[in-house]
Amino acid sequence: MRGMKRREDDTVRAVDWVDGHLRLLDQRRLPESVGYIDCYGLDETALAIADMVVRGAPAIGITAAYGIVLAARACFAGDPLQWKVRFLDELAVLGKARPTAVNLAWAIRRMSRFAETLEGSPEAALLAEATRIHEQDIEANYRMGDLGSGLIDGGAVLTHCNAGALATGGYGTALGVVRSAWKSGKITGVFADETRPWLQGSRLTAWELVQEGIPVTLLCEGASASLLRRGGVSWVVVGADRVAANGDVANKVGTYGLALHARRHGVGFMVVAPTSTVDMGSADGDAIPVEQRPEDEVLRFAGHRLAPEGTRAWNPVFDTTPADLVDALVTERGVILRPDTGNLARLMAA
């Protein structure tokens, strides 16, 4: 069984279901080479999430959904009568792969609740549900692309990390807005932060935009304030790994500083995220767990040590941007200007 049909402009897929297993584009190898990791079980899927083969909150959730199909297949084959007991234990392990991206927990809850209703072999029904999650994400991205681009009225945009097709089911959140705005002639080009230490902006965002012929200029995060002060950038457009109930946003570390720079220089700050990324159970940003990754990701690069022996590194993967710095939160259900507890609750209840 091959994956879903694609639109003409849906050119990059980080996650796919191919011939009965999960196939992931290995984002660690981009842009030097394009390679794939095949996952046939849940352990391989969880490891791929933890090791950054796949990243980006929506893509992690979709990957988890397909991984759950693999888990159910194995559990049912091992014990058709008691498979659900082992299945729940497997999902608990999966949930620990990346703690900040709320889409992981969201996908696990949705798939596990659906599994509870099933009798007999669960694989076909769970695969259909995982495919629905994938399709719904792509449709949401197209919707958000149109809504977000409607706020842009010219100039260039600046983005941080990668919130494109590589971070989602396809098309992208922040880069979905970029794609839509470029197609409609609303932007002149894109500036992309390098996004250290994994260089997602350099390796992934720039790669995606080059594939589509959208002009992209790379800069170090430390140059963003000077860029915004110079003028010519109308919006900062980013994705999110979790949005708290009050509108605080967890995203790749460096986003908070970028929001401060944007506010200082009168540049709009737009967050683009599906409602699956909204966590109404987290009252504010302080309730969002921030993943700390190994020090060597900062101290080394491509196998070479960058800092002297004895140096320590602080490596939070995410930071939290307060809601009062967010000018627009774009979801597939609509746009919230200046998000807060009240308007976000109304959006989620709609």
Q: Catalytic residue among 241, 248, 279, 327, which?
A: 241
How far, CA to CA in Å, does 154 sit from each of 149, 184, 187, 277?
Answer: 10, 11, 5, 28
C-alpha span between 92 and 95 (Å, rounded): 5
C-alpha span between 38 and 59 (Å, rounded): 15
How far, CA to CA in Å, does 139 sit from each of 10, 91, 183?
Answer: 11, 27, 17
The rounded radius of gyration (Å) of the Cα atoms in the chain is 20
Pairing, β 334-337 against β 328-331: antiparallel
Is 241 among the residues known to form the active site? yes
251 Rama class: left (phi>0) / alpha (psi -120 to 50) / beta: beta
Tokens of 331: 């979801």
Q: Specify the amino acid at residue 139.
A: E
Pairing, β 318-321 against β 249-252: antiparallel
C-alpha span between 322 and 340 (Å, rounded): 10
C-alpha span between 101 and 59 (Å, rounded): 10
Tokens of 314: 């602080």
Q: Active-site residue numbers?
A: 241
